[in-house]
Structure 1
Amino acid sequence: MDLALSGRTALVCSSTQGLGAAIASALAAEGANTVVNGRHDAQAKEAAARLPHAVGAGADLLSPNGPEELFQATVEAFGPPDVLVLNGPGPRPAQATDITAADVDSAFETSVRPHIRLISLALPAMRARGWGRILAVGSSGIAAPLANLALSNLGRAGLAGYLKTLAAEVAADGVTVNLLLPGRIRTERTRTVDTANAARTHRSVADVERESVAAIPAGRYGHPSEFAAAAAFLCSAPASYVTGVALRCDGGLVRGL
């Protein structure tokens, strides 16, 4: 299938490692002019150097001017983005009974505010040209809240509600808005969560991983490239009639439809 992304500009947030890096690689392989983002400029440029049609842009999305700096770097390199992939670190693991009001504010600042700011910057040009793709990397916790990830469940669900509302408002302008929800994909973030669960339950990380794998019908953790392939499709021209969707890439982990 031709994804018709050649020559398009794609901004992929937090893309020097993990799922973001896999998505940036998939989009660049399809011919998109890809902006690789990380908090440190040297790291972003190093990651971009490994890809075709890519530049690195260092910007901390959690800093007051981070979203504006990243957007401006994209415009200077390739012009306004046709594709915006929202991604970033999740809040720390926490049980619902342990979170404070400050934790709630932090979850919003981490998982919602910078993404909405980037959308507000990128959306006008998308609507004007009649073509745009906004994709957020979420969590299966949106479909089925995850134990010991109360802050992530809170923040990501808030962003999902906003994106679903936005999707209906801009669909007639040729802009799609979707979420892609990872299950247990083998990344550093997954390792961090497994380590936190192991400490909380006084077990080894290997035991926690075996228990997780046993709950996945596919019988394994996913590979970042599998997740990135789904992301590339949702960012493509052929996906023009897919919007307002939260698609799971989880090996069947969540048992609901």
Structure 2
Amino acid sequence: MDLGIRGRTAVVCASTAGLGEATARALAAEGARVVICGRRGDVAKAIAAELPEAVGVEIDLTAPDGPARLIAAAEEAFGPVDILVLNNPGPPPGGSSDISDTDIVAATESLVLPHQRLVSLVLPGMRERGWGRILALASIGVVAPIPSLALSNIGRAALAGYLKTLATEVAGDGVTVNLLLPGRIATARTVQMNTYRAAKEGVGVEEFAARAQAAIPVGRYGKPDEFGAVAAFLCSEAASYITGTALRCDGGAVPTL
């Protein structure tokens, strides 16, 4: 299937590893011009060098001027942004009884504010041109809060509420807004969480990881490139009638429709 995004400019946040990198590579494979970004500028540039048409940008999106500098770099390289993929590392694990006011503010500042700032910078142009894709790489915690990830559950739910509201407002302008919710995908974040949960339960990491895998109906962890393919589709011309949706990519792990 031709996804219809050849020549489109895509900014993929936190794309120097994990799901962000997988999404960036999938978009590049479909002919999009991709901006790779993250705090590790050398890694961003190295990944960009492997792709047909891409640039790497060193950026801290939690800095007040980070979003503006990223979009300026993207426009300088490729012109107006057509596809914006929102993504960032999750907050540290912990239960609800362990968090403070400061923790909640920090989670919101990292998971909501940078994304809202990015959207505000690219949305006017998308609406004017009558085409745009905004996709957040979130978590199944949006629909089924994950134990020991209280801060992530709070921040990502807030982001989901903002994006769902936005989707309704801009749907008539040719701009879609969606969330893609990963379950257990084989990334460093999953290893981190397995290590944390294993320690909490007093079992070995390998034992906990095996139990977690067995609980997934498809019987395995997801592959980053599988997730990236779904993300690329949601950013495509073919997905023009999908908006305001939170799609799970979890191997059937969440036991609800």
Q: What is the TM-score with the length of structure 2 in the denominator?
A: 0.99
Unaligned 5+ runs, structure 1: none
Secondary structure at the aligned position of 2:50 is classed as coil
| 1:38 has 2:38 as partner | yes
- Does residue 150 of structure 2 align to residue 141 of structure 1? no
Asked if 1:215 corresponds to 2:180, the answer is no
Partner of 1:163: 163
**Which letter does structure 1 place at the counterpart of 2:11?**
L
Structure 1's consecutive aligned runs of 4 or more residues displaced over 6 angstroms after TM superposition are: none
Q: Provide the C-alpha distance between the structure 1 equivalents of 2:131 and 2:139, rounded to a whole number of angstroms.
A: 26
Deviation at 1:207, TM superposition (A): 1.2
Q: Matched residue of 1:157: which SS?
A: helix
Aligned match of 2:90: 90
CA RMSD across the alignment: 0.6
Offset of residue 41 of structure 1: 2.1
Q: Deviations over 1:131-181 (max 9, x none)?
A: 000000010011100000000000000000000000000000000000000
Moved more, 228-237 or 32-41: 32-41
Distance across 2 between alignment mates of 1:119 and 1:221? 31
Residue 249 of structure 1 aligns to which amino acid in structure 2?
C
Whole-Å Cα distance in 2 between the matches of residues 107 and 211 of structure 1?
29
Give the CA deviation at 1:64. 1.7
- 1:49 is paired with a residue whose SS is helix
Q: How far apart, in 2, do the equivalents of 1:106 and 1:203 lie?
A: 31
Matched position secondary structure for 2:55: strand
User: Do structure 1's residue 248 and structure 2's residue 248 form an aligned pair?
Assistant: yes
Residue in 1 aligned with 2:190? 190
Distance 1:76 1:230 in 2: 28
One-letter amino acid of the counterpart of residue 193, structure 1: M
Deviates more, 1:201-210 or 1:9-18: 201-210
What is the deviation of 1:40?
2.6
| Aligned residue number for residue 17 of structure 1 | 17
Instruction: Tell whether the 8 Å contact from 2:186 to 2:222 is kept in structure 1 after alignment.
Output: yes
User: Separation in 2 of the partners of 1:81 and 1:212?
Assistant: 39
> Where does structure 2 lack aligned partners over 5 or more consecutive residues?
none
Count how many residue pairs are aligned between Structure 1 and Structure 2. Answer: 257
TM-score normalized with structure 1 length: 0.99
SS state at 1:134 partner? strand
Q: Tell me, in whole angstroms, the C-alpha distance in 2 between the residues paired with 1:209 and 1:128.
A: 48
SS for the counterpart of 2:94 is coil
